[in-house]
Amino acid sequence: MNRRQPVARHVGAMPPAMRAFWSMALALVVVAPWFGGAFVLHLAVLSCLNVVIVTGLALISRAGQLSLGHAAFMAVGAYASVLMDRYLGIGFWLSAGAGILTTVIVAGALGWAILRLRGVYFVLVTFAFGELTRLALLDWADVTGGANGITNIAPIQIFSLALDSRPKFYILAVAVALLSVWILHVLFKRPLGHALDAVAENPTLAESTGLSVFRLQLVAFVGGCALAALGGILQARYIGYVSPESFNAGVSIGFIIMLVIGGRSSVLGPLIGALVLTPLPEFFRGAVQTQHVFYGAALILILRFMPGGLVSLGGQARWQR
């Protein structure tokens, strides 16, 4: 009998020393950008937004599925929010809610149609959906701006405070990132998390015990896409610009790499993966091929020697058995 269990089963059994290490590392990461200059703060904001997006992918992955169209739901949320605010003048909060609701409807419809697919078929359909979304945004130029995108997007306004600077936006980005990780933690500790584990490990057995595999995977898929939409909406407001090429298949693959390297079976995996990999392209500026080689090598090494991801570093033996 194989007694090896997923990493997620023992999140609460993390050694105290490792818990202290990750707590101090997180505190350092949150505080350090304030002293690193404008560009470091910019990377920190992008890292926090990627945490939100990869957290959504982790929720989908927890149910045993893998989406290659995750960036498309960022696009749906971002474009829906920006266009509703621009043409209806409803402000950020209502437009953000409308963007997330639009994404939930689209994800629900797509999930209802494809979640009975398994393995590579599901992955291929999500990839096709991502590309179709990008092409639709390019072709619908009268509304979306086509390849030129939408510029001069107004910053987020909280009462009389406009988040029109990096320090101001960083505070919001950190809060939303930590909130998304906390929500994931709460969900995974509850019966829903255990049910998703059962579905991911053996859908047939889970169905025989009375669990609705389809409904659980649909909830995880829609919830993960909603988090992707939130990240896309905040990113559009922060950068002040949105275009179809910001949501191509390469972006979705990048999120998958963040999840795997951080640790796909852990609550902290999306956080660590996004914080580590978001700034890395700056070290390979002008050497894109070298960056791809590095990512490929990192994936091979992680999957071979540390399948639990970076989150299991230093406590892998106790945490996985």
Backbone angles phi, psi at 162, to 5 degrees: -95, 130
Phi, psi of 193 (to 5 degrees): -60, -45
- 66, 130 contact by CB (below 8 A): no
**Domain assignments of the chain as residue spans, ordered by start:** 44-252
CA 186/CA 179 separation, integer angstroms = 10
Give me the pLDDT at residue 132, please: 95
Phi, then psi, of 283 in degrees rounded to 5: -80, -15
Give me the pLDDT at residue 7, please.
40
DSSP string, 101-154: HHHHHHHHHHHHHHTT--THHHHHHHHHHHHHHHHHHHH-HHHH-GGG-B--PP
Query: pTM for this one?
Result: 0.87
**Alpha-carbon distance 196 to 292, whole Å?**
32
pLDDT per residue as tens, the chain (321 positions)? 444 444 444 444 455 666 666 667 667 767 767 777 788 888 999 999 999 999 999 999 998 888 999 999 999 999 999 999 998 888 889 999 999 999 999 999 999 999 888 778 899 999 999 999 999 999 998 889 888 999 989 889 887 777 888 888 998 999 999 999 999 989 888 888 889 989 888 888 888 888 888 999 999 999 999 999 999 999 999 999 999 989 998 899 999 999 998 888 788 888 888 988 888 877 777 666 777 787 788 888 888 888 888 887 755 433 333
pLDDT the model gives residue 2:
43
Contact 58, 264 (CB under 8 A): yes
